[in-house]
Amino acid sequence: MFMDKIEAFFSHWIAMGQNVAYEFVLQLFTIFGHSLDAMFFLLIALMLIASSFRTFCQNETGFKVGSIRLVAYFSTVFFFVAWIVIALGLVIVAYIDIEKNYRGLVHSLGYESFSLFYAGMALYLLTVLTVWLIAHMYMRHSLEPKFAHSLIKKAKKLGHDEAYSDIRELNKRRFKPFNPEKYFPVAMKKRALFLGLDETRKPVYLGRDKFDKSNMQIMGSMGSGKGIQAQIIYSQLIAQGDTVINFDPKYDDHLPFVLRAACQKAGKPFLFLNLREKSIQINPFHGANSEEIADMFIASFDLEKRGDNSDVYKIAERKSAQKIAHFVARHALPFSQILPNLDRILSDEERKDARSFLDALEMLSHLTAFQAVKGADIESVMRSGGCVYIVGDDVGIVQDAQKILLVRILQMIKNIPRDDRQFVSVFADEVKSLLCPILVNQSGQLRSRKANLAFAHQSDADLAVLDNNSREILKDNATLGWFYRQKSPKTAEYVASMTGKINAQASTYEVERNSMSAEVTRGASRRSQEMQRYYIDTNTIQSLPDDTAIFIGDGLAKIAYTSPIIVKDRPALKVVSYQLTPRKETNQQATPIDKEPCNLEDYL
């Protein structure tokens, strides 16, 4: 009796379980039966997403990554549960006779018989399982190593690894152009200069107190944007009433037009000299004493002491230069009258000993631009404010001539009282054509003379014509630096060292092999250590876009970028031209004219 009751009890529960399973499967097929294709693709998509998340998160760390990993695990569990439930449902259906009572349901699903329905569902499940296996093997063997490699980049982006940069990522930096002139009024109110925009597009200003007491070095490879920074700085100086003296050996295509437009807006004079032109423009000796004229000769013709064997031969040349300078100052001779009076100045022996110097002087005396009796008045521009733009050259006698003018301008800055003139900023573009010991020595004294110097060059090699001490003095006197892209690794290292050093995190990773024998780097294997690196490293400096530079000298070094000033109205630049004083009217001074250059033969 007892066994019969137990058998009846289990039979009851077995029958109840069969009915529950039967009803569950029927409900499942009734609800999802009409969207089997959608369920199939949804299941595959869920499986792929879950597997991808697991593969990616296998190599990552952090709270966000942990959250993603948790979602991935739940997705994986849901995928397998859904797969097992459907498979179990098919097994149950295989042992339940629903073909008689639910033939309509099977037909509504698109199957003619239950056996075809069962075979279709089994094919669905096998396909899902096969796709999952193939995808899993592919992800572990191919994708996981790539994800592992991205871990290093991820750590860098999150700030976990700051010690090294990847130049492949840095090359993606690009900046949008802008109009720099719209920032000029704000800079003037702040008594500052606008230099450019930083990486967050915020304006970078430099106080006038800082600028007026500092020299500036602008360095960058050809076409990197050195002239654009000159446009921005010197347009503002002219607008603020100061004087700009610009030496341009290469004849920039845009800078003279921009500075002329700035002078027109400010109502200031623009004096344009082109030493290449066959027109009479200036007398560099006008108003100079004998010592100053001698300094011009010494700087222009490279007669300075160098501390080597060549000094023996230069002694006689310097003596001759001083005698000529004394005679020129005493008689107020223009440049063209030096050679005709040479017999009255030097003896035959002195002329023989100074042959190299005199040959160079003879060549320079034929420069038409220096034939004026008085010529262009640079001193008046210094007193009123404005711009003197001097086009020179990097070779030949024009290069010597621009050195003479540079020395003369430095003398004027020294001689004119501070209160009688405006602040003077001298810009020496392609400074290698103007380098001389006088420039180096004067660069450290300009700050006390209400003036400063900005010089531009392409690389540190451009300063090689100077000795090591002079080169270091020139660079040390330039406390402001604006450095564009550098191609030379040595120069890039020099610029990077000027930005200073910071503490940064460096990471190391252990390489492991996963279940598919692929090499991976897991986030848990990262080891971090602190080290020092340059604040702005060499990769960054060598990959800067055009018109983008490193600004050094006013707080922390920063990356800033510039855009050119657009001048639409660009009439031809007119060289200042003067007549020679005819011999019959020697008491009259030369006067500026506003026509074509005159013919020397009419006056000689």
Q: Which residues of 524-555 are buried (b: 16+ CB within 10 A; e: fewer)?
A: ebbeeeeeebbbbbbbbbbbbbebbbbbbbbe
Q: Would 90 be classed as within a structural domain? A: yes
Q: Find the range with the poorest average confidence among 458-462, 471-475, 580-584.
A: 580-584
pLDDT band at 44 (very low <50, low <70, confident <90, very high): low
Mean pLDDT of 581-588: 40
Task: State the pLDDT at residue 230.
Answer: 95
Q: In 421-564, where does DSSP find H-type helix?
A: 437-443, 468-477, 489-498, 538-542
Of 158, 192, 223, the domain-final residue: 158
- pLDDT of res. 208: 96
Mean pLDDT of the chain: 78
**Which of 414, 178, 110, 405 minimizes the C-alpha distance to 275?**
405
**Co-location of 150 and 17 in the same domain:** yes
Query: According to the model, what pLDDT value does residue 240 have?
Result: 96
* Residue 285 backbone dihedrals phi, psi, to 5 degrees: -90, -5
Compare 79 and 458 and report the one with higher pLDDT. 458
Q: Which of 214, 243, 216, 238 is nearest to 229 (CA)?
A: 216
Mean pLDDT of 142-168: 55
Per the rule left: phi > 0, alpha: psi between -120 and 50, beta: everything else, 302 is left
pLDDT of residue 263: 96
Is beta strand 592-593 parallel, antiparallel or unpaired with respect to 577-578? Answer: antiparallel
pLDDT of 146 reads 61
- Report the distance separating Cα 466 and Cα 307, nearest Å: 13
pLDDT at 571: 86
Boundary-marking domain end, from 105, 126, 158: 158
The 10s digit of each residue's pLDDT in 270-313 is 999 999 999 999 999 999 999 999 999 998 888 887 666 666 67
Q: What is the pLDDT of residues 245-259, one digit of tens each?
A: 999 998 999 999 999
Q: Give residue 336's pLDDT band: very low, low, confident or very high (50, 70, 90).
A: confident
In this prediction, residues 24-43 reach a mean pLDDT of: 55
* Predicted local confidence at residue 234, as pLDDT: 98
Per-residue pLDDT at 603 exceeds 70: no
Identify which has the larger pLDDT, 157 or 453: 453
Domain assignment present for 499:
no
Expressed as residue numbers, the domain containing 176 is 170-269+386-489+539-573
Percent of the chain past pLDDT 70, that is, above it, reads 62
Q: What is the pLDDT of residue 524?
A: 47
**604 and 547 housed in the same domain:** no
pLDDT of 599 higher than 60: no
Number of domains in the chain: 3
- Which 3-state string (H, E, C) describes 329-390? HHHCCCHHHCHHHHHHHCCHHHHHHCHHHHHHHHHHHCCHHHCCCCECCHHHHHHHCEEEEE
Answer whether 231's CB lies under 8 Å from 564's CB: yes
**pLDDT by residue (tens digit) across 501-550?**
887 766 665 556 555 555 555 554 556 666 788 889 888 888 888 899 99
Q: Residue 140 carries which DSSP code? A: I
| Residue 498 domain-assigned (yes or no) | no
Averaged pLDDT, 32-42: 55
Instruction: Enter the tokens of residue 172.
Output: 């993606």
- 127 within a domain of the structure (yes/no): yes
The more confident residue out of 83 and 456 is 456
- List the helix and strand counts (H, then E) for the chain: 22, 17
- How would you write 297-336 as a 3-class SS string? HHHHCCCCCCCCCCHHHHHHHHHHHHHHHHHHHHHCCCHH
pLDDT digits (tens, 9 = 90+) for 161-210: 455 666 666 666 678 899 999 999 999 999 999 999 998 999 999 999 99
Q: Which of 139-148, 331-340, 524-533 has the highest mean pLDDT?
A: 331-340
Separation CA 469–CA 472 (nearest Å): 5
Do 336 and 400 sit in the same domain of this protein?
no
Q: Are residues 152 and 29 in the same domain?
A: yes
pLDDT given at position 162: 53
Predicted pLDDT of residue 487:
84
Task: Give yes or no: residues 36 and 147 share one domain.
Answer: yes
The verdict on residue 525 lying in a domain is: no
pLDDT confidence of residue 158: 40
> With contact defined as beta carbons under 8 Å apart, do 480 and 217 qualify?
yes
Chain centre to alpha carbon of residue 460: 17
Q: Does residue 328 surpass a pLDDT of 50? A: yes
CA distance 114 to 104: 10
Region 70-91: mean pLDDT is: 63
Position 590 pLDDT exceeds 80:
no
pLDDT score of 258: 96
Residue 517 falls inside a structural domain? no
What is the secondary structure of 242-261 as a DSSP string? -EEEEEETT--SSHHHHHHH
Query: pLDDT band at residue 38, thresholds of 50, 70 and 90?
Result: low
* 260 and 229 belong to one structural domain: yes
* Range with the poorest average pLDDT among 86-100, 339-353, 454-468: 86-100
**Domain of residue 453, CATH code:** 3.40.50.300
Mean pLDDT for 321-340 is: 92
Residues 178 and 36 in one domain: no
Residues 28 and 85 in one domain: yes
Q: Are residues 148 and 9 in the same domain?
A: yes
Contacts of 300 (CB under 8 A, 6+ apart): 364, 400, 401, 403, 404, 407, 436
| Confidence (pLDDT) at 593 | 32
Residue 348 predicted with pLDDT over 60: yes
**With contact defined as beta carbons under 8 Å apart, do 385 and 242 qualify?**
yes
pLDDT band with cut points at 50, 70 and 90 for residue 586? very low
For residues 240 and 263, membership in a common domain is answered with yes
Q: Which residue has the higher pLDDT, 514 or 133?
A: 133
CB 213 within 8 A of CB 453: no
Residue with more model confidence, 98 or 47: 47
pTM recorded for the entire structure: 0.70
Residue 558 above 50 pLDDT?
A: yes
Give pLDDT, residue 145. Answer: 60
Kindly indicate the confidence band of residue 488, based on its pLDDT and cuts at 50, 70 and 90: confident
Same domain for 259 and 125?
no
Question: Is the pLDDT reported for residue 594 higher than 50?
Answer: no
**Residue 280 in tokens:** 């009479």
> Which pLDDT score is estimated for 4?
56
411 vs 329: CA distance, rounded Å: 15
Domain presence at residue 534: no
495 falls within a domain: no
Highest-pLDDT range among 1-5, 301-305, 341-345, 592-596 = 341-345
Question: Same structural domain for residues 597 and 560?
Answer: no
Which of 135, 158, 181 is the endpoint of a domain?
Answer: 158
Place of tokens 């621009």: 402
From the list 59, 69, 55, 58, the residue with the least C-alpha distance to 509 is 59
CA distance 207 to 553: 12
Which pLDDT belongs to residue 463? 92
